[in-house]
């Protein structure tokens, strides 16, 4: 069977599975809709959290960025993995003990202020819409290549599927759908990686294959081979970095603390019964995430080596079918500048004739390696699972922020449970339409867009959450001022250097030599400083709020252990 036939079969089966789960687990109350009734097991929540976490950026784009950035791309691995550890150890258990549905709910109650809640809602919407833009672009990329439909049509199909199970099932439907999506995406990522590792090095474990010798009898290590190919073409050695230490540190920190402030990941810890279950599910999710994250560097090395060997200095007329198929999507293009009919893939921009979108590398990898059609189709199904699982989680955050945190807690406190559920579903529908617009008019590479969302979360939420848990004297005035300054500073920097607003600028104009992806670290520090300065000139929080903060840090059963 052809790749397209296999893709229709595998994507059709997985979509039917997701819709079936949504119908089976549809939400009947706001508690079901927001936190899946609070009764999800640690294993199911761990798998759902892993799927929610491993978005199109992790599945499609991260290995693609590492393929082209080499050592510099490791900031994404370090930042996203470290950030998850930070979230699991520092925040998740305490937020679960506080027992609210959403991050704005925590901030609104902890800082005893409707204004704080509204600012948090605005921040959650900005972060979530920036993040979801990357997911919808990922959906469009997969559909345009493997189902051979227009990118816009692909985005619309994805919107309809997400809308169905997010609006019908809410968090309950999303949780069990994400369990299935984790299984699909991890299988789809690992199978081709194992195939190619055996093909290139004879080692079935990709993580070890990356550091092994090639099985061509030469005794050359795979990484040495790739370093040699890269330098021959004028690029830096693959295993050398070009970013400054300052920027590497800033990006890693922004991704780490941004993770710990991501509303769609944090809300997952409200779906379990006990604080102990929140810790368990966080640990399980970390193990499940590590499977993909430790394999991504190997996939990057395999893909880049095979790509250079396949296209560099080869006749364009002899290019395999996959090359022509990706050309049709517009994500890969050849411009024969010297008109010799050969592809010159070199570092010199004036001579380079090949333009490759980072986001195609993982998807094209099994095609470049000439793997069976069913493996190629499996990767397409995995890419869609990764993008749709995260998009659904984000849409739920958006709908809960509007229905629960704005409508119920600010504008209409007496709204009935049923009416609030309808508002939540209406908000999710509007959010899907806006997300679809971003997918059709994407602002950049999936991982680049997602990295900016982490910067926004770092700049706005992280200080307010950390101070809210660990500093009982932090008051509403300090928290609100910090969030406003942090998010505005990050938005200004992002739009100036990424989109050319406010006069634009180049890398030489970056403040402190820090890229927009890493500036969330600086905006976060500004948030902390402003919050603490404002605190000095404003009243302390009420005693009852300080007592709540004391209590959420006391482990369950501590009173029995100490005899108090």
The tens digit of pLDDT for each residue in 515-529 reads 888 898 999 999 999
- pLDDT tens sequence across 59-82: 877 888 888 888 888 888 888 778
**The token pair that represents 28 in the structure block:** 């009947």
**Given a cut of 70, is residue 555 above it in pLDDT?**
no
Kindly tell me if the per-residue pLDDT of 419 is higher than 80. yes
Does 444 reside within a domain? yes
Residue 207 lies in a domain: yes
Which range is most confident: 89-93, 197-201, 500-504?
197-201
Cα–Cα separations (whole angstroms), residue 469 to 99, 243, 259, 485, 487? 13, 35, 17, 20, 20
CATH, residue 127:
1.20.1730.10
Give 29: exposed, middle or buried? Use CB within 10 Å, 0-12, 13-18, 19+: middle
Does residue 265 lie in a domain region? yes
Give the count of beta carbons closer than 10 Å to the beta carbon of residue 361.
25
- 193 pLDDT tier (thresholds 50, 70, 90): very high
At residue 167 the predicted structure's pLDDT band, cuts being 50, 70 and 90, is: low
Instruction: Note the pLDDT tens digit of each residue in 196-208.
Output: 999 999 899 998 9
User: How confident is the model at residue 231, as a pLDDT?
Assistant: 87
The residue range of the domain holding 416 is: 3-552
Mean pLDDT calculated for residue range 150-156: 77
Which three-class secondary structure string do you get for 17-28? Answer: HHHHHHHHCCCC
- Alpha-carbon torsion 319, 325, 331, 333, what sign? positive
Strand partners, 355: 333
Q: Is residue 563 scored above 50 in pLDDT?
A: no
User: How deeply is 329 buried, as exposed, middle or buried, from its count of CB atoms within 10 A (0-12, 13-18, 19+)?
Assistant: buried
User: Is residue 563 in some structural domain?
Assistant: no
In eight-state DSSP terms, residue 3 is: H
The total of structural domains in the chain comes to 1
**Which pLDDT score, from 0 to 100, does residue 560 have?**
41
| Cβ pair 177, 384 in contact under 8 A | no
In a domain, 564, yes or no: no
Q: Give the pLDDT score at 547.
A: 87
> Would you say residue 482 has pLDDT above 90?
yes
pLDDT tens column, 243-302: 788 888 898 898 888 877 677 777 777 777 777 777 788 788 888 888 988 898 999 999
Higher-confidence residue of 138 and 67: namely 67
pLDDT at 28 over 80: no
What is the rounded CA–CA span in Å between residue 303 and residue 367? Answer: 10
* Residue 212: count of CB within 10 angstroms of its CB: 16
Q: Establish if 217 belongs to a structural domain.
A: yes
Residue 150, pLDDT above cutoff 90: no
Q: How confident is the model at residue 488 (pLDDT cuts 50, 70, 90)?
A: very high
Task: Describe the crossing of helices 114-146 and 446-470 by its angle, rounded to 10 degrees.
Answer: 150
Question: Using an 8 Å Cβ cutoff, are 340 and 313 in contact?
Answer: no
CB of 95 within 8 A of CB of 462? no
pLDDT at site 475: 93
DSSP state for residue 342 in the 8-state scheme: B
Q: For residues 397 and 424, give the distance between their C-alpha atoms in angstroms, rounded to a whole number.
A: 10
Position 174 scores a pLDDT of 74
Whether 561 maps to a domain, the answer reads no
% of the chain with per-residue pLDDT over 90? 11
Q: Is residue 557 part of a domain?
A: no
Closest by CA to 435, choosing from 140, 3, 104, is 140
Q: Output the pLDDT for position 562.
A: 42
């Amino acid at each position: 069977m052809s790749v397209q036939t296999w893709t229709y079969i595998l994507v059709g089966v997985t979509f039917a599975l997701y819709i079936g789960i949504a119908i089976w687990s549809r939400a009947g109350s706001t508690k079901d809709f927001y936190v899946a009734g609070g009764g999800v097991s640690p294993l199911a929540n761990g798998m759902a959290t892993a799927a929610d976490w491993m978005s199109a950026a992790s599945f499609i784009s991260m290995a693609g960025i590492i393929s082209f950035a080499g050592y510099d791309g490791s900031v994404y691995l370090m930042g996203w993995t470290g950030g998850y550890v930070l979230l699991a150890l520092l925040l998740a258990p305490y937020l679960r003990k506080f027992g609210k549905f959403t991050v704005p709910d925590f901030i609104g109650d902890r800082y005893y202020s409707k204004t704080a809640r509204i600012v948090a809602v605005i921040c959650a919407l900005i972060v979530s819409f920036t993040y979801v833009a990357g997911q919808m672009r990922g959906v469009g990329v997969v559909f345009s290549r493997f189902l051979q439909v227009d990118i816009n049509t692909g985005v619309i199909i994805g919107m309809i599927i997400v809308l169905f199970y997010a609006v019908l099932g809410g968090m309950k439907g999303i949780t069990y759908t994400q369990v299935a999506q984790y299984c699909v995406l991890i299988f789809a990522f690992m199978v081709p990686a194992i195939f190619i590792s055996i093909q290139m090095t004879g080692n079935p474990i990709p993580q070890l294959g990356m550091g092994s010798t090639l099985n061509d009898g030469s005794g050359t290590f795979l990484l040495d081979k790739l370093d040699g190919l890269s330098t021959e073409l004028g690029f830096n050695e693959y295993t050398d970095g070009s970013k400054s230490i300052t920027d590497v540190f800033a990006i890693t920190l922004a991704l780490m603390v941004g993770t710990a402030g991501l509303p769609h990941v944090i809300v997952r810890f409200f779906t379990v019964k006990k604080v102990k279950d929140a810790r368990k599910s966080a640990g399980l999710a970390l193990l499940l995430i590590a499977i993909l994250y430790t394999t991504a560097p190997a996939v990057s090395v395999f893909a880049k080596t095979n790509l250079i060997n396949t296209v560099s200095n080869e006749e364009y007329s002899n290019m395999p079918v996959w090359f022509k198929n990706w050309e049709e999507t517009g994500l890969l293009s050849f411009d024969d500048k010297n008109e010799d009919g050969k592809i010159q893939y070199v570092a010199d921009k004036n001579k380079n004739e090949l333009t490759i979108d980072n986001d195609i590398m993982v998807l094209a990898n099994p095609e470049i390696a000439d793997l069976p059609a069913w493996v190629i189709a499996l990767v397409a199904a995995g890419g869609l699972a990764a993008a749709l699982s995260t998009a659904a989680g984000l849409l739920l955050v958006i709908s809960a922020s509007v229905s629960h945190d704005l409508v119920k807690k600010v504008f209409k406190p007496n709204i009935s449970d049923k009416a609030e559920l309808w508002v939540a579903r209406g908000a999710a529908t509007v959010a899907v339409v806006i997300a679809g617009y971003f997918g059709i008019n994407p602002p950049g590479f999936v991982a680049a867009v997602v990295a900016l969302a982490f910067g926004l979360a770092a700049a706005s939420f992280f200080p307010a959450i950390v101070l809210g848990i660990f500093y009982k004297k932090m008051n509403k005035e300090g928290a609100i001022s910090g969030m406003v300054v942090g998010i505005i500073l990050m938005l200004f920097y992002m739009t100036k250097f990424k989109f050319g607003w406010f006069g634009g600028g180049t890398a030489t104009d970056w403040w402190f030599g820090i890229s927009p992806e890493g500036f969330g670290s600086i905006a976060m520090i500004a948030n902390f400083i402003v919050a603490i300065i404002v605190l000095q000139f404003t009243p302390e929080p009420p005693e009852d709020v300080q007592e709540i903060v004391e209590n959420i840090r006391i482990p369950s059963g501590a009173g029995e252990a100490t005899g108090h």
